[in-house]
Chain A
Amino acid sequence: DVKVTQSSRYLVKRTGEKVFLECVQDMDHENMFWYRQDPGLGLRLIYFSYDVKMKEKGDIPEGYSVSREKKERFSLILESASTNQTSMYLCASSLTGDGYNEQFFGPGTRLTVL
């Protein structure tokens, strides 16, 4: 059974704090993604990684950074949390190959920044 896990389901942080969101997948997938999900806006891509130590900016990378030191783990870092980063954060992973490569999502982390 494929699995993407995220370290926390709910987090409450204060403005200015450094925040780490962790994602682990057990499917040996090359690609990993971080999205945020806000009402009325759909999923927006923050960063993705296609290999260990590789990262690419998505549509809304400002205020975020990522780290991928091991194939199975992809971390999202908020260097200095702000209230406008209150959101649901979703991690996903997928294979690389011909044809359609399904993205598998984790359960999400609901982050509140006060």
Chain B
Amino acid sequence: QKEVEQDPGPLSVPEGAIVSLNCTYSNSAFQYFMWYRQYSRKGPELLMYTYSSGNKEDGRFTAQVDKSSKYISLFIRDSQPSDSATYLCAMGLDNYGQNFVFGPGTRLSVLP
């Protein structure tokens, strides 16, 4: 079993839809949970991070962590064509980047 699993997609949705992206993980000791967005031919950029459990909201984006189920989610409300990208989840035991484990990414297309 991989340490972090993520559905690779591709996921296609119409503009305005609510998008749900998910990752599951096996290491119950993870404390830091991140979502990155990666546009084609670009490097990943941090969207949100959460420490421990709970929800975090930033504009149209909401990150949820369910440590009991070892499951994290990213919700995108009112999705836009500009949200079309690959979304990577990442997690770590601590806040040291060298210890982060990345998921393979989900490719999202938002159709106008």
Residues of A whose CB lies within 8 Å of any CB of B are: 4, 9, 31, 33, 39-45, 48, 56, 58, 90, 92, 94, 99-103, 105-108
Tell me the minimal C-beta distance from B98 to chain A in angstroms. 5
CA of A106 to CA of B96, assembled, Å: 18
Stretch from B11-19, B37-45, B59-67, B69-77 forming part of the interface with A: B37-45
A40 touches B97 (CB 8 A): no
- B46 A103 Cβ-Cβ under 8 A: yes
**29 A–B contact pairs at CB < 8 A?**
A4-B43, A9-B41, A31-B98, A33-B98, A39-B104, A40-B104, A42-B4, A42-B103, A43-B90, A43-B102, A44-B102, A45-B98, A45-B100, A48-B97, A92-B97, A100-B49, A100-B51, A100-B95, A102-B49, A103-B46, A103-B100, A105-B43, A105-B44, A106-B43, A107-B42, A107-B43, A108-B41, A108-B42, A108-B43
Give min CB distance, A37 to chain B, whole Å.
8
Binding site for A on B (CB under 8 A): 4, 6, 8, 32, 41-46, 49, 51, 88, 90, 95-98, 100-105
B49 CB to closest chain A CB (Å) equals 6
User: Given the complex, which residues of A lie within 8 Å of B45, measured CB to CB?
Assistant: 105
Cβ 8 A contact of A101, one of B8, B97, B102, B104: B97
Docked complex Cα distance between A106 and B43 (Å): 5
- Say yes or no: B44 contacts A94, CB within 8 Å: no
A101 to B51, CA, bound (A): 12
Q: Roughly how many angstroms separate A40 CA and B9 CA in the complex, as a whole number? A: 11
Is A41's CB under 8 angstroms from B49's CB? no
- A63-B36 Cα distance, complex, nearest whole Å: 28
